[in-house]
Amino acid sequence: MVETSDIRVVRCGGSKVNLTPPIISSDSRFVLCTSGDLVKVYSTRTEEWLHSLQGHTNQVTGITLNPANHLQVYSCSVDGTVKLWDFIDGILIKTFVIGCPLFAIYVSEKHTGVLFLHVSMATDSKNECFQLVSVHLPKSAEQEVEAKEMSAVSSHISKNPSCTAFGRGSVSETCMSMVIFISFFSLCSFSLKATDKKGAKNAFTCIACHPTDDCIATGHEDGKIRLWRNFIHKKEYTYSTQHWHHNAVNTLCFTPEGTHLLSGGIESVLVQWQYGADNRKEFLPRLGGSILHISASSDGQLFCTSHSDNKITVIESSFKVCGVIQGLVKGDAVLTDLMIDPRSKALVLNGKPGHLQFYSLLRDKHLYNLDIVQQEYIYEAGLDQFEVVKAAFDIKGSWLATVEERGKKSSDLEFFLKLWAFDERTQSFVLNTTITAAHTDRIISMCFSSSEETTMLVTAAEDSQFKAWCQGADADTQQDQNFWSCDFVGSYHKLNPTNCSFSADSSLLAVSFQEVITIWSPDTWEMLTTLCQPPGVIRDLCFGRLSCSKYLLGTTTKNLLCCWNLLTCELEWSTSVDVSKLQPDPFSENVAAFSYQSKHTDLFVFKPSEPRPLFTNKNVCSEKVHRAVFVPREEPLNSCDESTQWLNRSQLYFLTQNMDLLTFSTATEEDRMLSSSKQLVIDDSVAVTPFYLLLGKHRQQQQKLNTQSHPVSDKPQQTQGSVTIKELLHTPAHVLPAASVLCSMFVNSFLISNTGETLQEEMDSEKEEEDSEEEMEACDSQQELRAQGSVDEVTPKLSKAQERELKRVRKTDFSWMAGLIDSKP
Partner 1 sequence: MASFKPTKVQFLPKLGEKVTEDTLYWKNYKSPVQIKEFGAVTKIDFSPLAPHNYAVTASTRIHVYGLHSQEPIRSFTRFRDTAYGGSFRGDGKLLVAGSEEGLIRLFDICGRVALRQFTGHSKAVHVTSFLSDGFRVVSGSDDLTCRVWDVPSAVELSSITEHTDYIRALAPSKLNPDLFVTGSYDHTVKVFDMRSGSSVMTMQHGHPVECVLLYPSEALLVSTGGRYVKIWDLLKGGQELVSLKNHHKTVTCACLSSVGNKLLTGSLDRHVKVYNSSYKVVHNFDCDASILSMAVAPDDEVVAVGMTNGVLSVRHRKHKKDKETLTSRRRRGPSYRVFVKGKNFVPRQDDFLVSKPVKQYLRKYDKQLKSFEVSKALDTALQMWTRTSKPEVTVAVIIELNRRGTLKNALAGRNEESLTKILNFLLKHIFDPRFSRPLLTVGDIVLDLYRQVLHQSPVVERQLQRLMEVLGREAELQQELLQVLGILDTLFASLTPRKEVLWEEHCPMSLNNHCVSVSSVSADVCRI
What is the rounded distance in angstroms from the CA atom of residue 807 to the CA atom of residue 600? Answer: 61
Give the residue with the Cβ less far from partner 1, 509 or 605. Answer: 509
Q: Residue 487 Cβ, how far from partner 1 at the closest point, in Å?
A: 13
Nearer to partner 1, 479 or 754 (CB): 479
| Phi, psi (deg, nearest 5) at residue 800 | -65, -40
Measured from the CB atom, is 184 or 283 closer to partner 1?
283
- Angle subtended at Cα 558 by Cα 556 and Cα 564, rounded to the nearest 5 degrees: 40
Least distance to partner 1 from the beta carbon of 418, Å?
Answer: 12
DSSP 759-810: HHHHHHHTTTTSSS-HHHHHHHHHHHHHHHHHHT--S----HHHHHHHHHHH
Nearest residue (CB) to partner 1, 8 versus 286: 286
Compare residues 142 and 412 and give the one whose CB is closer to partner 1: 412
Cβ neighbors of 779 (< 8 A, separation 6 or more) are none
Give 288 or 522: the residue with its C-beta nearer to partner 1: 288
Q: Least CB distance from residue 628 to partner 1, whole Å?
A: 32
Shortest CB 527 distance to partner 1, Å: 5
Q: How far is the CB of 22 from partner 1 (least distance, A)?
A: 18
Closer Cβ to partner 1, 379 or 596, answer by number: 379
* Nearest distance in Å: CB 461, partner 1: 10
Amino acid letter for position 287: L
> Per this entry, what is the length of the chain?
825
CB of 369 to partner 1, least distance (A): 10
Q: By C-alpha distance, which of 115, 95, 96, 119 is closest to 106?
A: 115
- Strand boundaries in 268-411, DSSP class E: 270-274, 281-284, 291-296, 302-307, 311-316, 321-326, 339-340, 347-350, 355-360, 365-371, 387-393, 399-406
Which sign, positive or negative, has the C-alpha torsion 92, 96, 97, 98?
A: negative
Instruction: Output the smallest distance, CB 459 to partner 1, in A.
Output: 12
Q: Least CB distance from residue 312 to partner 1, whole Å?
A: 14
* CA dihedral angle for residue 432, residue 437, residue 443, residue 445, rounded to 10 degrees: -40
> What is the enclosing helix (H) or strand (E) of 478?
none
Q: Least CB distance from residue 475 to partner 1, whole Å?
A: 10
Q: Which residues contact 435 (CB under 8 A, 6 or more apart)?
A: 416, 417, 418, 419, 469, 484
Could you tell me the smallest distance in angstroms from the CB atom of residue 287 to partner 1? 6
Cβ neighbours, 10 Å, residue 573: 15
Give phi and psi for 364, each to the nearest 5.
Answer: 50, 50
Q: How far is CA 503 from the centre of its chain?
A: 33
Please identify, using beta-carbon distances, which residue of 478 and 753 lies nearer to partner 1: 478
What DSSP string describes 719-730? HHHHHHHHHHHH
How many Å from the N-terminal Cα to the C-terminal Cα in the chain? Answer: 51
Q: Are 270 and 225 in contact (CB under 8 A)?
A: no
Nearer to partner 1, 313 or 644 (CB): 313
Contact, 416 vs 435, CB < 8 A?
yes
What strand order describes the sheet that includes 291-296?
A: 291-296, 302-307, 311-316, 321-326
Identify which of residues 384 and 642 has a Cβ nearer to partner 1 in the complex: 384
Query: Residue 287 or 652: which CB sits closer to partner 1?
Result: 287
- The CA distance from 181 to 157, in Å, is 9
491 vs 609, beta carbon nearer partner 1: 491
Q: How far is the CB of 375 from partner 1 (least distance, A)?
A: 6
Say whether the peptide bond before residue 342 is cis (omega within 30 degrees of 0): no
Task: Using alpha carbons, select from 446, 564, 437 the residue that is nearest to residue 497.
Answer: 446
> How far out from the chain centre does Cα 199 lie?
41
SS3 750: helix
Q: Note the residues at the interface with partner 1 (CB under 8 A).
A: 284-288, 313, 321, 374-376, 378, 380, 383-386, 406, 434, 436-437, 439-440, 463, 465, 476-478, 489-492, 525-527
Which is closer to partner 1, CB of 383 or CB of 640? Answer: 383
Element (H, E) at 189: strand 189-193
Shortest distance in whole angstroms from residue 476 CB to partner 1: 5
Minimum gap (Å) between residue 505 Cβ and partner 1 = 23
Output 426 or 823, the one with its CB closest to partner 1: 426
